[in-house]
């Protein structure tokens, strides 16, 4: 991968790639792509789309999706399985059984994704579920105990990796205390740093070896009272140094209204703060043009982290899907309760 690759991940408008979009992506050279429900119809259609996206840039670019389960699940019935929200999965099981169930869940999700050419999943969500957590996020979390969330997140990440799908943990340095929805407003966290260190930061620190992560559009007042983490050099330094994450760092979607300014200003601020990749999801051409222009190309360190992330994509071993699915179901019904 040369440094001419754009420091961006972009979306496309619909279920097929138009010649105009293909020409734009050829010239823009985004590092990767992200898909949403508007892009998804059938397995055959989706496989054609992911093939066409990669052909537009002439390389095996990563294709991302949000397939957490529950409300945030882009591939849905009737062609794909409907998964429970992460917060609900395996509640009441013994810890080892819950970890196994979550591994199986995400190994099966990986199998579904790879079959249609998707090789990165924006999961696990390692934010803590607090009583005050906004409903947009609450049941997307694995729970409120940092150690239990870390264990569940590790199981999810390892299930995805075993299936040849790269996990993208989110939202660093921790979005769970947010009482407002960052799609519409900018949340602020007033908790002291030492308290955050032992709670919100802890699951991310435990999984700091993962290949990719996503920032939070949230102000951590103890770190930088003026800027959201996505655009804060101090917050990105905390993610790198205090939490210890050394992998590829993506912004959350730059079109979310927690951020101010034009799309170009949002992208430029994220890259200047230390994000490696500017993520833009809605597929709107003028906005993508502004993001690509402002994000620039991958620098040396970012390109090295991007290469290291892609090196962790594997061709997975064949699995007996029916057997894993049966084991998953048996665990969820099983007697091992605590």
| CA 292, 295, 300, 305 torsion-angle sign | negative
Task: Report the candidate in 275, 273, 293, 277 with the shortest Cα–Cα distance to residue 285.
Answer: 293
Pairing of strands 166-172, 120-121: parallel
How far is residue 46's CA from residue 53's CA, in Å, rounded to a whole number? 11
How far is residue 50's CA from residue 54's CA, in Å, rounded to a whole number? 6
Contact 114, 316 (CB under 8 A): yes
Select which of 183, 185, 197, 325 is catalytic.
Answer: 183
Contact 139, 182 (CB under 8 A): no
Select which of 127, 200, 224, 252 is catalytic.
Answer: 252
Contact 107, 162 (CB under 8 A): yes
Catalytic residue at 194? no
Whole-angstrom CA distances from 22 to 11, 13, 222, 285, 293 are 12, 11, 44, 12, 17
Catalytic residue at 252? yes
Pairing of strands 6-10, 248-250: unpaired
How far is residue 207's CA from residue 191's CA, in Å, rounded to a whole number? 22
Task: Report the candidate in 273, 256, 130, 113 with the shortest Cα–Cα distance to residue 191.
Answer: 130
Q: What size, in residues, is the chain?
A: 338
Contact 321, 329 (CB under 8 A): no
Q: List the catalytic residues.
A: 183, 252
């Amino acid at each position: 991968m040369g440094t001419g690759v754009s420091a961006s991940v972009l979306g496309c408008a619909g279920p097929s790639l138009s010649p105009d979009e293909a020409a734009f992506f050829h010239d823009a050279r985004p590092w990767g792509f992200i898909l949403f429900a508007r892009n998804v119809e059938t397995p055959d259609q989706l496989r054609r789309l992911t093939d066409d996206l990669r052909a537009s840039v002439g390389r095996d670019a990563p294709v991302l999706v949000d397939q957490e389960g529950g409300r945030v699940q882009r591939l849905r019935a009737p062609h794909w399985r409907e998964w429970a929200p992460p917060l609900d999965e395996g509640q009441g099981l013994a810890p080892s059984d819950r970890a196994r169930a979550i591994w199986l869940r995400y190994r099966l999700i990986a199998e579904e994704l790879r079959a249609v050419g998707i090789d990165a999943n924006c999961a696990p969500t390692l934010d803590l579920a607090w009583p005050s957590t906004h409903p947009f996020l609450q049941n997307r979390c694995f729970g409120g105990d940092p150690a239990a969330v870390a264990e569940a997140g590790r199981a999810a990440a390892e299930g995805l990796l075993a299936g040849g799908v790269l996990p993208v943990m989110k939202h660093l340095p921790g979005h769970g205390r947010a009482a407002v929805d960052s799609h519409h407003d900018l949340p602020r966290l007033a908790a002291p740093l030492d308290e955050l260190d032992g709670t919100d930061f802890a699951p991310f620190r435990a999984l700091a070896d993962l290949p990719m992560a996503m920032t939070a559009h949230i102000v951590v007042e103890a770190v930088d009272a003026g800027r959201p983490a996505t655009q804060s050099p101090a917050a990105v330094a905390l993610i790198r140094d205090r939490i210890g994450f050394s992998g590829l760092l993506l912004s959350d979607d730059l079109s979310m209204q927690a951020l101010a300014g034009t799309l170009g200003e949002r992208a430029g601020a994220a890259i200047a703060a230390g994000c490696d990749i500017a993520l833009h999801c809605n597929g709107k051409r003028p906005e993508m043009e502004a993001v690509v222009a402002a994000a620039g190309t991958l620098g040396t360190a970012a390109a090295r982290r991007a290469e290291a992330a892609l090196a962790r994509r594997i061709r997975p071993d064949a699995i007996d899907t029916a057997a894993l699915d049966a084991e998953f179901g048996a665990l969820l019904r099983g007697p091992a309760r605590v």
